[in-house]
Amino acid sequence: MFLVTLKQLLDDAQTEPKHLTETKARKLDVPPHVADHRAEPPAPENGLLGDVRKVKTWSYKDVHTQAHAARLTLECLRELSALCLPPRAMLDTKLADVVLAFTGHPHPVVASAAQALVARWQRRLLSAANVLTDPTFCEDPTVTVEAGVKQIQRLEEVAAAADAAAAAAAAAADAVDAATGAAAVPASAGVGAAPAAAAAAAAAGEEGGAGEAEGDAGAGAEGDDAMAVD
C-alpha cells in the first residue's frame, strides 16, 4: 500500500522547476527521517510553531494532494523504513527506484528521509554481502562432520582388513605346522621298526639253527643205536 501511494505521488507530481510550489515547513531538532513532519501553515504571531521557513515542493493538480503530499510521502517512507524487504523483492517491485526518485525531492525533509532510507538499505546490503563472502559463513558444518565420519569408517575398514589378514596368516601357519607334524610321525615309526624286524629275523635264525642242531643230534643218536644193534 505504501509503495502504491509513493508511485501515485511520483506519477502525479509535476517535478519541473517551473511547476514547483512554495510551502512552509517547521525546522525540526530531531532527524527528519524519524520525526513526523507536517506541512505547516503560516506561523502565528505568537510563534508557537517555532522556526518556520519557506520551502519548495512538487505541485499537484489535485488540491487535496497538493496540501498533504509531503505528509503522505513522509508517512510512507517511515513505514517502509520499518520493513525488512529482501533485495529481490525490492528489485521486482521497483521500490528502490521509487525511493531513489524521492531523494531529489525539493522539500528538504522529504529528500533527507528518502536519503536516510536508501542509506539504510545500502548498509544492509553491504552487511549481507560481507556475510555471503565470508568463508566462515559459507562453510557447511555438516560437510565437515560427514567427512570426519567417512574418515573414521575408512580407518575402521582398514583395521578390519588388517585383522582379517593376520587371522588368515595365523590359520595358514597352524595348517603348515599340523602338516609337518603328521609327516614326521610315519617316518619315526619306520625308523623304529627296522631294528625290531632285524631282531625278529635274528631270533628266527637262531631258532632255526637250534632246530637243525637238535635234528642232527637226533639223527646221530639213531645211527649209533643202529650200529649197536648190528
Convert the pLDDT of each residue in 9-38 to its tens digit. Answer: 888 887 777 778 877 666 654 444 444 444
User: Using an 8 Å Cβ cutoff, are 57 and 28 in contact?
Assistant: no
Average pLDDT over residues 35-54: 50
Average pLDDT on 114-124 reads 90
pLDDT score recorded for residue 194: 52
- Whether the per-residue pLDDT at 140 is higher than 60: the answer is yes
| Grid cell locating 166 | 593376520
**According to the model, what pLDDT value does residue 88 have?**
84
CA distance 195 to 27: 137
Model pLDDT for residues 203-223, shown as the tens digit of each residue? 666 665 555 555 555 555 454
Q: How many CB atoms lie under 10 A from the CB of residue 12? A: 15
Tell me the per-residue pLDDT of 65-83, one tens digit each, with 9 for 90 and over: 888 888 889 999 998 888 8
- Output the pLDDT for position 32: 46
Residue 108: which of 152, 61, 66, 70 has the closest Cα?
A: 70
pTM: 0.50
What are the Cα distances from residue 94, in Å, to 8, 32, 163?
A: 13, 24, 68
The pLDDT value given to residue 89: 84
Residue 28: per-residue pLDDT:
52
**What cell numbers appear for 23 in the block?**
510551502
